[in-house]
Amino acid sequence: MIDFKALAKEYGTPLYVYDFDYMSEQYTKLKEAFRGRKSIIAYAVKANSNLSVIKHFAKMGSGADCVSIGEVRRAFMAGIPAYKIIFSGVGKSDDEIREAIERDILYINVESDAELQRVEAIAKELGTQARISIRVNPNIDPQTHPYISTGLHDNKFGVDLSTAKRMYIQANNSENLDPVGIHFHIGSQLTQLQPIREAAEIVADLIRSLQAIDIELKFFDVGGGLGIKYDDEVTIEPYDYAQAILGTLTGLDMTILCEPGRFLTANAGYFVTKVLYEKQNGEKKFVVVDGAMNDLLRPSLYNAYHEIEPLVDSTEPKQEVDIVGPVCESGDFFAKNYPLPPLQAGDLLVIKSAGAYGFGMGSNYNTRGRSAEVAVEKGKSRLIRRRESFEDLIALETEFLED
């Protein structure tokens, strides 16, 4: 049990708290599920890009899936070896592509024909060969939230099968490209196995048709997306997930690459916020807290549900309240009509499942400094990012102030 009251006292609120032991357990579960095949678990850095979090996974042997050169640099700083780093994303700039090639990462995940031409041209300029994989869009509906589904043709991600095949042929004939992998990622917060299995089958068929023309790929990159329990979701067991994927690879000798983000960090994270007041507007009761949408955007952005635990001993009946922050937006809420007991100023609320797409989506809107982040490991806590001060927020502007 994490003593959130003690942590709030020591580090202040609002505060992100991450259970590093839980992250280790999740990592091990997934790694074990792929036992029997060569595999690399490449942590999707965007889920939680704190350097200490990445380093924690690096120490466990994890790779990194990055979606900007900034994330690639973080992965290097945190000690992930180059040969376990991949670079994905629909819009990579020339500078980003150049640096990724120079850093000799495992491969660049190419997401369009136009990008393949850029990667080839830049590798040629550098007089080298760029290892690539191609992101295939298998046109599968992942049956998840439309904002986080990525594997349908009307999404911006990846290329269709026939384009992919053409691109592999070009890459294979190019002196400056080395096609080593194939990639798909159909969405996030996946809770259904069937769409994953179907996507893997489609991609495995493509691999076989490439083999038939002597194009041999080494990495079968199944993306991330494994869902977690926020509320009452029935989630996929890592073992079943691995079996569904491996079942499509009969006769293919490939290394599995898996890019989980949310699965590794979401339920390891807690956002601790303090009650400022309760207020009543007509029928509606609000609990105003010191955290806000600039700290944890998911409820505002996706109407996402997070379980909220009040740290009070109360036997009084619960009442449905809206839990809102101080930001000047009606969309600034953590929950609506959420049953809570009566609260007082200073009481703490723990917002759960906040370890993925929490801090990273934060901003300084309303000139609010971002929260501190704390790691808890083997019963001990330590600061892994200090709270932003007012001076931090204005540092990039003050030199431009005219008198």
Ligand X SMILES: *Cc1c(COP(=O)(O)O)cnc(C)c1O
- Residues with a known catalytic role: 328
Question: Among 195, 261, 299, 358, which residue interacts with ligand X (rule: CB under 6 A)?
Answer: 261
CB of 270 to ligand X, least distance (A): 18
CB of 173 to ligand X, least distance (A): 26
Closer by beta carbon to ligand X, 65 or else 115: 65
39 binds ligand X (CB under 6 A): no
Query: b/e per residue, 25-54, with b = 16+ CB within 10 A?
Result: ebbeebbebbeeeebbbbbbbbbbbbebbb
Question: Among 142, 195, 260, 291, which residue interacts with ligand X (rule: CB under 6 A)?
Answer: 260
The candidate with the shortest Cα–Cα distance to 134, out of 154, 119, 124, is 119
142 binds ligand X (CB under 6 A): no
Closer by beta carbon to ligand X, 155 or else 366: 155
The candidate with the shortest Cα–Cα distance to 139, out of 198, 84, 96, 181, is 198
Run of H or E including 245: helix 238-246
62 binds ligand X (CB under 6 A): no
CB of 90 to ligand X, least distance (A): 9
31 binds ligand X (CB under 6 A): no
> How does DSSP assign 247-301, residue by residue?
TT-TT---EEEE--SHHHHGGGEEEEEEEEEEEEETTEEEEEES--TTT--HHHH
d(CA 294, CA 185): 28
185 binds ligand X (CB under 6 A): yes
d(CA 79, CA 260): 18
Of 32-40, 198-206, 230-238, 258-266, the segment contacting ligand X by CB under 6 A is: 258-266
Tokens of 208: 């076989």
Of 33-41, 208-216, 222-230, 310-318, the segment contacting ligand X by CB under 6 A is: 222-230
Cβ proximity of 140 and 107 under 8 Å = no
269 binds ligand X (CB under 6 A): no
Residues 77-116 that bind ligand X (CB under 6 A): 88
- The neighbour count for residue 394, using CB atoms within 10 Å, is 12
Of 203-211, 221-229, 344-352, 375-383, the segment contacting ligand X by CB under 6 A is: 221-229
Q: Spell out the residues 6+ positions from residue 252 whose beta carbon is closer than 8 angstroms to its own.
A: 204, 207, 208, 211, 220
Question: Among 133, 174, 188, 300, which residue interacts with ligand X (rule: CB under 6 A)?
Answer: 188
CA distances from 252 to 37, 45, 205, 246, 339 (A): 11, 29, 10, 10, 52
Closer by beta carbon to ligand X, 13 or else 189: 189
Cβ proximity of 87 and 66 under 8 Å = yes
Closer by beta carbon to ligand X, 60 or else 288: 60
Closer by beta carbon to ligand X, 14 or else 187: 187
Of 8-16, 217-225, 229-237, 371-379, the segment contacting ligand X by CB under 6 A is: 217-225
Question: Among 74, 92, 262, 274, which residue interacts with ligand X (rule: CB under 6 A)?
Answer: 262
Helix (H, G, I), strand (E, B) or coil at 83: helix
Per-residue contact string for residues 225-244; x = within reach of ligand X by CB under 6 A: xx------------------
> How does DSSP assign 97-121, residue by residue?
HHHHHHTT-SEEEE-SHHHHHHHHH
d(CA 94, CA 85): 18
CB of 191 to ligand X, least distance (A): 11
195 binds ligand X (CB under 6 A): no
3-state secondary structure 341-385: CCCCCCCEEEECCCCCCCHHHCCCCCCCCCCEEEEEECCEEEEEE
136 binds ligand X (CB under 6 A): no
Question: Among 263, 270, 334, 359, which residue interacts with ligand X (rule: CB under 6 A)?
Answer: 263
| Cβ-closest position to ligand X | 261
CB of 356 to ligand X, least distance (A): 6
CB of 339 to ligand X, least distance (A): 29
Residues 356-375 that bind ligand X (CB under 6 A): 356
CA 347 to chain centre: 30
67 binds ligand X (CB under 6 A): yes
Closer by beta carbon to ligand X, 196 or else 343: 196
d(CA 237, CA 221): 19
The contact set with ligand X (CB under 6 A) reads 44, 46-47, 65, 67, 88, 185, 188, 223-226, 259-263, 356
